[in-house]
Amino acid sequence: MNKAFLFLFFLLTLAASAGAAQLDPVILKNAVDASAKAEGTKIGEYSLVDQDGVRFNLGEYFKGNKPLVISYIYTSCPVVCPTITAEFKKAVDGAKEAFGDKFNVLTIGFDPANDTPEKLNEYGRKFTGSFEGFRFASSDPETIERLLNAAGFFRVRQDDGSFDHIDMVTTLRPDGTIYRQVYSLRTQPQNLALRMEELLTGKAGGAASLTLVDKLKFFCYRYDPYSGKYVLDYPVFVSIFIQALIIGGIFYAVWGKRMMARFKRRKEGNR
């Protein structure tokens, strides 16, 4: 067997083992692209039930002159969602100190089977003493599916019932049009206040230009129980590096010898 193909087989085997528990970086990139594509679209009408069992329509938020901020959680999440909600609450409190009660806040539970009003109430009380201005809600599976797809929110259920999902908050104009997605709330909560300032002052900024690395960062953090902090999920970057090696190996195996031979002939011809 050709040595180059033996090398490629080794790389493919290594990549499979290193990235077995990881989502494909291409999937992650496409997820961020899809969320950004939702900007500028209207969110539509959805019937929801809040933490007190009160049914309401999302469109009720779009009859006044206040922007809306939507965050996303699932109540059975052990660490990541509570961390996101804690940072979200801090960011909201900071924005309200600056702008007062000029915007509304809603957290969507995206696991309908488990995110009952009782569970949402229990979850929410860990972060706020009052649900006034800080509402939690969910709905039936079909409604939640349509709402999350319209908002561009990425999530994948794992075999153990947990979710891999993007760390994202959605800001909406008073008419229900998605203004900007706010990413990485765990590490950059100040960005929410910036987006709200743009909405409330009318100084709307342009869309940020994101590199592939920027997009992957929204997924590439994991909780380290030993340090109590979020750290880079290095296996993802190892997987990306290995995939790059594989592509380079394939390129060399197919075209490398031809290119080297052509370069050698050209060099000899110039003597």
| Closest to 193 (Cα-Cα) out of 87, 78, 45 | 87
| Residue 60, domain extent | 25-211
Q: Cα–Cα distance between 94 and 66 in angstroms, integer?
A: 17
* Rounded mean pLDDT, 102-122: 96
Residue 265 lies in a domain: yes
- Helix/strand/coil (H, E, C) string of the chain? CCHHHHHHHHHHHHHHHHCCCCCCHHHHHHHHHHHHHCCCCECCCCEEEECCCCEEEHHHHHCCCCCEEEEEECCCCCCHHHHHHHHHHHHHHHHHHHHCCCCEEEEEECCCCCCCHHHHHHHHCCCCCCCCCCEEEECCHHHHHHHHHHHCCCEEECCCCCEEECCEEEEECCCCEEEEEEECCCCCCHHHHHHHHHHHHCCCCCCCCCCHHHHHHCCCEEEECCCCEEEECHHHHHHHHHHHHHHHHHHHHHHHHHHHHHHHHHHHHCC
Please check whether residues 117 and 150 belong to one and the same domain: yes
The domain total for the chain is 2
Provide mean pLDDT across the span 76-103: 89
Cβ atoms of 30 and 136 closer than 8 Å: no
Both tokens assigned to 199 = 């909405």
Query: 10 and 30 share a domain?
Result: no
pLDDT at residue 254, rounded to an integer: 67
**Confidence band of 28 (pLDDT split at 50, 70, 90):** confident
Based on the domain organization, do 189 and 264 belong to the same domain?
Answer: no
Q: Does 249 or 166 have the greater pLDDT score?
A: 166
- For position 99, what pLDDT does the model report? 86
**Structure confidence at residue 106 as a pLDDT band (50, 70, 90):** very high
Residue 79 has pLDDT above 60, yes or no: yes
Please give the Cα distance from 200 to 179 (Å, whole number): 12
pLDDT tens-digit readout, 128-142: 888 888 899 999 999
Chain centroid to CA 138: how far?
19
Structural domain contains residue 216: no
Residues 171 and 243 in one domain: no
Between 179 and 1, the higher pLDDT residue:
179
The residue-averaged pLDDT of 170-192 equals: 87
Per residue in 207-230, pLDDT (tens digit) is 454 454 444 445 544 444 334 444
Look at 270 and 158; give whichever has higher pLDDT: 158
Tell me: the pLDDT tens digits for 241-268? 666 677 667 766 766 667 777 767 776 6
**Given a cut of 60, is residue 48 above it in pLDDT?**
yes
- Asked, for residue 220, whether it belongs to a domain, the answer is no
Residue 60 lies in a domain: yes
- Give the pLDDT of residue 54: 97
* Percentage of the chain lying above the pLDDT 70 cut: 69
53: pLDDT confidence band, cut at 50, 70 and 90?
A: very high
253 and 198 part of one domain: no
Verify that 171 and 265 share a domain, yes or no. no
Verify that 120 and 13 share a domain, yes or no: no
Whether residue 132 sits in one domain with residue 60: yes
Any idea which of 119-128, 144-153, 193-202 has the lowest mean pLDDT? 193-202
Q: What tokens does 192 get?
A: 């929410």
Helix axes 80-99, 190-201, angle to 10 degrees: 40
- Residue 46 inside a domain? The answer is yes
Residue 226 included in any domain:
no
Same domain for 179 and 109, yes or no, is yes
Please provide the average confidence, as pLDDT, over all residues in the chain. 78
Sequence-distant (≥ 6) Cβ neighbours of residue 131 within 8 angstroms: 50, 51, 52, 124
Same structural domain for residues 106 and 148?
A: yes
What CATH code is carried by the domain that includes residue 63? 3.40.30.10
16: pLDDT strictly greater than 50: no
| Same-domain check for residues 201 and 263 | no
In a domain, 219, yes or no: no
The answer to the question of residue 225 being in a domain is no
Examine the domain organization and report whether 109 and 238 are in the same domain. Answer: no
Q: What is the pLDDT of residue 86?
A: 92
